[in-house]
């Protein structure tokens, strides 16, 4: 009994020594860390503040829809342990409520527009600010602010966003509507205000293909705000949506069998456009369809009109000789959004006008369908099938 008791006492003493030793080591480590932070504060208060801001309550991992190999919609895989982005200087972390689904996302997923692998899909989101760097805080951005943005990586619970890319969402504009505004709304804005290089004036005709779908619903309404006369095309299945946009003329096409896409061979669109415009044609043609409409678009142009090709919904526009444009001394441009939001001032100016129209009831924005992020592949399949009658979103 004495030997057993003595052995137990020795063991307890060893455990106590181990606990004291561990506590001493932890105290020293904490002391070193504290001293380091204090030295940082003395030498660079901003850096010290940034370190403290980075020690947030954000989780280490998050749910995200990730592309590790390019391919069809099922290449978009939902992962629950993807690393949460770290807070960096000049940026904020946004906790996403919604992410927009756009055709350009499918081009990235397929590899048509190359991206480094792996990557989180999407480039349009809306939510609340969850963490703020010192530089962003100096610009007045606060945790809890409602914002929308366009940067890569929005198909996720959290996204790192440069402060300069944030769009404050005003009261009275819902976050899903604000998210829909970012890519499609801003794209429609530059297409109808800038991409035509002032070759179209108030009272001139423009042709906009696919006004039953997302971006060109916005474009048709914005062109009317600019005082342009609008001819829209749409499929029979989307006529109910297109009829509400205020187009001066609406050309309703049959659908390609088994799809929701317009059959651009079901009507002689060039003849119809020339009849509507008294043989003059359109000063601008806004075309996000691509391969199926390039010949129609060029044929519908007026003298010194401009063909604005901004999308490839039916496939990429094939190369054609520039000599085709000589008959009308016509112009062609293949623009992208980034080149029309090159500065913070330009970005905010466009967004402010759009949000103003929304608040005044001058724009009718249709959110067609919202998929949970867990159904990431289904969202892309829905968009690519041409089924949407408005904006398609993920709820995060």
Distance from C-alpha of 312 to C-alpha of 107, rounded to nearest angstrom = 9
Please spell the DSSP secondary structure of 278-323, one letter per residue: TT--EEEEEE-S-TTTHHHHHHTEEEEEEEEE---TTSPPPP--GG
Would the pLDDT of 5 be above 90?
Answer: no
Confidence band for 365, pLDDT divided at 50, 70 and 90: confident
pLDDT at 331: 98
Between CA 130 and CA 135 the distance in angstroms is 15
Extract the tokens encoding 306.
């401009």
Q: For residue 21, is pLDDT > 70?
A: no
C-alpha 318/C-alpha 335 separation (Å) is 16
CA–CA dist 374, 92 (Å, integer): 25
Longest dimension (CA), the chain: 115
Cis upstream peptide for 118 (omega within 30°) = yes
Residue 45: HSE in the Cβ half-sphere, 13 Å Cα cutoff = 0
Phi, psi dihedrals of residue 115, rounded to the nearest 5°: -135, 155
Tens digits of per-residue pLDDT, 93-109? 999 999 999 999 999 99
The span from the CA of 332 to the CA of 174, in Å, is 36
The model's confidence at residue 35, banded by pLDDT at 50, 70 and 90, is very low
Task: Give the span between the Cα atoms of 121 and 153, in whole angstroms.
Answer: 5
How do residues 368-392 score in pLDDT, each as one tens digit?
Answer: 999 999 999 999 999 999 888 889 9
What is the reported pLDDT for 11? 44
CB 237 within 8 A of CB 255: yes
Share of the chain above pLDDT 70, in %: 86
Instruction: Say how far apart CA 308 and CA 306 lie, in whole Å.
Output: 6
Nearest to 308 by CA among 180, 192, 189: 192
pLDDT per position as a tens digit, 229-284:
999 999 999 999 999 999 999 999 999 888 878 999 999 999 999 999 999 999 99
* β-strand partners of 331: 306
Beta strands in 22-157 (DSSP E): 61-67, 76-83, 91-101, 119-120, 125-132, 146-149
241/368 Cα distance (integer angstroms)? 10
> Comparing C-alpha atoms, which of 359, 226, 244 is closest to residue 284?
226
Q: How far apart are CA 183 and CA 190, in angstroms?
A: 11
What is the rounded average pLDDT of the residues 317-337?
96
Given pLDDT bands bounded at 50, 70 and 90, which one contains residue 16? very low
**CA gap 100, 369 in Å, rounded:** 11
**147 φ/ψ angles, rounded to the nearest 5 degrees:** -140, 160
pLDDT at 56: 52
Would you state the structure tokens that stand for residue 69, as one six-digit string? 């190999």
For residue 17, give every residue at least 6 positions away whose Cβ sits within 8 Å of its Cβ, in sequence order, or none.
none
Question: What's the rounded mean pLDDT across residues 158-164?
Answer: 97
Predicted confidence at residue 31, as pLDDT, reads 38
**Residue 327: what are its φ and ψ, rounded to 5°?**
-60, -35
Evaluate whether 263 touches 287 at the Cβ level (below 8 Å): no
Would the pLDDT of 47 be above 90? Answer: no
Tokens of residue 7, six digits: 């052995």
Residue 276 exposure: Cα atoms within 13 Å on the Cβ side: 24
Asked if the model's pLDDT at residue 8 lies above 80, the reply is no
Per-residue pLDDT tens over the stretch 182-226: 999 999 999 999 999 999 999 999 999 999 988 999 999 999 999
71-93, pLDDT tens digit by residue? 999 999 999 999 999 999 999 99
Residue 55 clears pLDDT 70, i.e. is over it: no
Phi, psi of 345 (to 5 degrees): -65, -45
Q: What is the DSSP letter of 336?
A: -
Distance, in Å, from the CA atom of 163 to the CA atom of 139, rounded to the nearest integer, reads 8
Q: What is the pLDDT of residue 146?
A: 97
């Amino acid at each position: 009994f004495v030997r057993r008791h003595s052995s137990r006492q020795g063991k307890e003493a060893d455990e106590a020594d181990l606990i004291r030793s561990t506590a001493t080591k932890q105290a020293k480590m904490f002391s070193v860390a504290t001293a380091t932070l204090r030295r940082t504060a003395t030498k660079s208060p901003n850096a010290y503040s940034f370190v403290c801001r980075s020690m947030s309550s954000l989780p280490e991992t998050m749910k995200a829809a990730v592309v590790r190999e390019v391919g069809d919609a099922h290449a978009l895989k939902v992962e629950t342990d993807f690393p949460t982005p770290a807070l960096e200087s000049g940026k904020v972390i946004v906790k996403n409520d919604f992410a927009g689904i756009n055709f350009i996302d499918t081009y990235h997923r397929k590899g048509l527009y190359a991206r480094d692998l792996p990557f989180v899909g999407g480039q349009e989101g809306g939510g609340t600010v969850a963490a703020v760097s010192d530089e962003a805080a100096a610009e007045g951005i606060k945790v809890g602010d409602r914002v929308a943005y366009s940067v890569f990586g929005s198909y996720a619970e959290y996204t790192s966003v440069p402060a300069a890319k944030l769009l404050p969402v005003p009261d009275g504009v819902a976050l899903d509507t604000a998210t829909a505004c970012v890519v499609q709304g801003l794209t429609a804005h530059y297409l109808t205000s800038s991409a035509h290089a002032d070759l179209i004036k108030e009272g001139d005709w423009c042709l906009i293909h696919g006004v039953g779908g997302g971006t060109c619903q916005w474009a048709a309404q914005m062109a009317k705000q600019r005082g342009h006369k609008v001819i829209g095309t749409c499929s029979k299945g989307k006529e109910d949506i297109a009829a509400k946009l205020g187009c001066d003329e609406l050309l309703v096409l049959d659908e390609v069998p088994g799809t929701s896409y317009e059959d651009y061979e079901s009507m002689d669109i060039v003849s119809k456009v020339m009849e509507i415009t008294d043989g003059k044609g359109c000063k601008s043609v806004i075309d996000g369809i691509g391969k199926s409409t390039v010949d129609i678009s060029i044929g519908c142009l007026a003298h010194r009109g401009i063909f604005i090709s901004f999308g490839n919904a039916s496939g990429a526009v094939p190369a054609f000789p520039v000599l085709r444009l000589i008959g009308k001394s016509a112009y062609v441009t293949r623009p992208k959004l980034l080149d029309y939001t090159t500065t913070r001032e330009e970005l905010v100016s466009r967004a402010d006008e759009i949000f103003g129209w929304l608040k005044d009831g001058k724009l009718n924005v249709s959110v067609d369908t919202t998929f949970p992020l867990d159904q990431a592949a289904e969202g892309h399949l829905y968009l690519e099938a041409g089924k949407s009658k408005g904006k398609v979103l993920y709820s995060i």
